[in-house]
Amino acid sequence: MNRIKQWIEQGPLLVDGGMGTYFSSKEHLPGSGCEMASIEKPVLISAIHREYLEAGARVIKTNTFAANRPTYRHTETVRRIIRASWNLAVRAAAPFGAEVFADIGPVTGLPPAAAAREYRFIVEEFLSLGAENFLFETNADDTGLDEAAAYIRSKAEDPFLAASFAVLPDGYTRSGIFGEDLIRDLTARGNFDAVGFNCVSGVRQMARLLEDMDLEGVTLSIMPNAGYPTVVGNRTFYDSDPVYFGRGLAEIAARGASIIGGCCGTTPAHIAAAREELTKKSRDLRSAPGRSRSEALAAGEEEDRVPESPFFEKLRAGEMPVAVELDPPETADVRKYMDGAARLAAAGCDLLTIADCPVARARMDSTLLACRVKRDLGMETIPHLTCRDRNLNATKALLLGLSAEGLRNVLVITGDPIPTAERDEVKSVYQFNSRKMAAFIRGLGRKSFPVPFHVFGALNLNARNFDVELRIAREKVEAGMVGFFTQPVLSRRALENLKQARRTLQPAGAYIIGGIIPVVSQRNALFMENEINGIHVSQEIIRRYEGLDRDAAEALALELSVKIARDMAPFIDGYYLMTPFGRTKLMARIIAGIRG
């Protein structure tokens, strides 16, 4: 039986601390990669391993965190680093009877298939050297991990595989995925023996994080930082006292962590302090774990339920609600906008949707405007949230505010790119795509909101390759989206794609809110056909507007919109009307036509 598996059955297993930061402190260097030191300064790397072992670590990690081709470019260079690092670690561990983890950091900047191939390349190098124990650490998601683990298990007789995710103190990775979800999903798939967290958070933040999670039955690996970093003169320092760190780490072990160690800023002194505290604590003195949220629910102590979304309730009841999109104003004067919104509410609009800076041009913030409409008019709203302009922190802060304001629905889209001519002045932020943001919001819902948001997405019925669009839509449903607002139907092809979407997405439980935009002139039709991405207007419709004045064109818009609504009705769960040029009177007539 693998020795690490035997050891963790006997009690918490202590691993070494942060090689990179300790190396940098010894060399008086900025915090940068130290993997080449296994080749260039082997005596120093061996000495660091030995210090950690003398401090009490029973497992050390190879000096290979960033040993991958995206970082070091050349295949042979990576192979040399892995070989040298492995040999140094094995030789250092042998006199102490210790074990070695093949340490593999995240492979970033590659698409999933390429990342999986890179992990396999790294794993093959370690396997050729006799590695049996692997640690995949500091990950933001699980891309490529299962593939790498399955490959190791196909080649090694009895390996020990651990994976660790870097989470902020609120429990989310930089990819916006909730750490508890990552741990549970990876554990459920059965390829890893231990799963847990490392880096970013200090020992106390990590302990509080674990208190809020329900991870019963998981073999946990926990390796915090030595507190928060301080940058002085381009160098990074961690000031956490070793005794403080050791006590906190021992408490984490007492709460059930099977593998413990240190990450950035931890030194042999921190590991020695942890070893001393572990020897003081018996497992009988383990602190009582905090109750999970599910236990609080069972005890009836959870907060009173707050109102649900009337729009979503109508969707669920099959009542075909009507949502209307009204673009936010370009100035701070909202009087005209509020008048138009009130007109739509009076006409029977169930939900007002508000775009988020359409075509990447600044307008009034969709979320603030949504709150204003809800407060002043009592009208339910759904703001669009683009992935373009907010990072993880800004997104979470915004969602907390929206929840407090009583909003229950959001429409998540990637967002139009910044026009080329403005990119030197206006910078895009794309920490998320729409699937990652949906998963982030879903994860937040269990911890941060009295009622989780209903997350909707966009579905382009006019996509050139609609099979790909549907595949992505299914991935969005898996990420937590409950339904889709579609691009407008203005052609037979779009209607056929809508039928296909119904067949594909209805079994997955996703609602479809069918898009309708009234064409108000031939010029408008030509503009949408030629210049608006995601909209296709048939030539038949374009020809019908030839020579019409405004009144006649609006009459035709009403006729066509009502007809399209009736054609799509068997394949949708609600209507999504898009207001052209602020013409809310026309939209009120269309709502009446659909309702009639």
Q: Report pLDDT digits (tens) over 553-595.
A: 999 999 999 999 999 999 999 999 999 999 999 999 999 999 8
Give exposure, 548-569, as e/b (b: 16+ Cβ within 10 Å): beeeebbebbbebbbebbeebe
3-297 with 310-595: one CATH topology?
A: yes
34 in a known ligand binding site: no
Tokens 């790909």, located at residue: 468
- Compute the average pLDDT of residues 534-543: 94
Picking from 148, 263, 250, 154, the residue whose alpha carbon sits closest to that of residue 201 is: 263
Domain ranges of the chain: 3-297, 310-595
Q: Produce one character per residue of 400-435: b if its CB has 16 or more CB atoms within 10 Å, e if not.
A: eebbeebbbbbbbbbbbebeeeeeeeeeeeebbbbb
Residue 171 binned pLDDT confidence (cut-offs 50, 70, 90): confident
Q: What pLDDT, on a 0 to 100 scale, did the predictor assign at position 393?
A: 80
Structure tokens, 177: 């995925």
pLDDT score at 297? 39
Cα–Cα distance, 86 to 100 (Å, whole number): 8
Looking at domain 310-595, which of 3.20.20.220, 3.30.565.10, 3.30.450.20, 3.90.600.10 is its CATH number? 3.20.20.220
Structure tokens, 328: 């936010």
For the cut 60, the answer to whether the pLDDT of residue 14 exceeds it is yes
State yes or no: 264 annotated in a binding site. yes
Task: Give the pLDDT band (50/70/90) at residue 363.
Answer: confident
Cβ neighbours of residue 15 closer than 8 Å, sequence gap 6 or more = 57, 58, 59, 60, 61, 101, 223, 259, 260, 261, 262
Query: Does position 379 have pLDDT exceeding 90, yes or no?
Result: yes
Write out pLDDT tens, residues 62-117. Answer: 999 999 999 998 999 999 999 999 999 999 999 999 999 999 999 988 999 999 99
**Of the ranges 434-438, 527-531, 542-546, which one carries the lowest mean pLDDT score?**
434-438
Contact, 418 vs 389, CB < 8 A?
Answer: no
Please, what is the Cα angle at 208 between 203 and 212, to 5 degrees? Answer: 145
Q: DSSP 3-state assignment of 413?
A: strand
Element (H, E) at 447: helix 434-448
Q: What's the pLDDT score for residue 33?
A: 67
As a whole number of angstroms, the distance between CA 589 and CA 573 comes to 21
Report the C-alpha gap between 108 and 114 in whole angstroms.
10
Neighbours of 247 (CB within 10 A): 19
- pTM score, whole prediction: 0.67
Please check if 387 is assigned to a binding site: no
CATH number of this structure's domain 3-297: 3.20.20.330
pLDDT, tens digit, 9 for 90 and up, residues 309-335: 999 999 999 999 999 999 999 999 999
Say which DSSP state 578 is in.
E
* Span 388-399, average pLDDT: 81
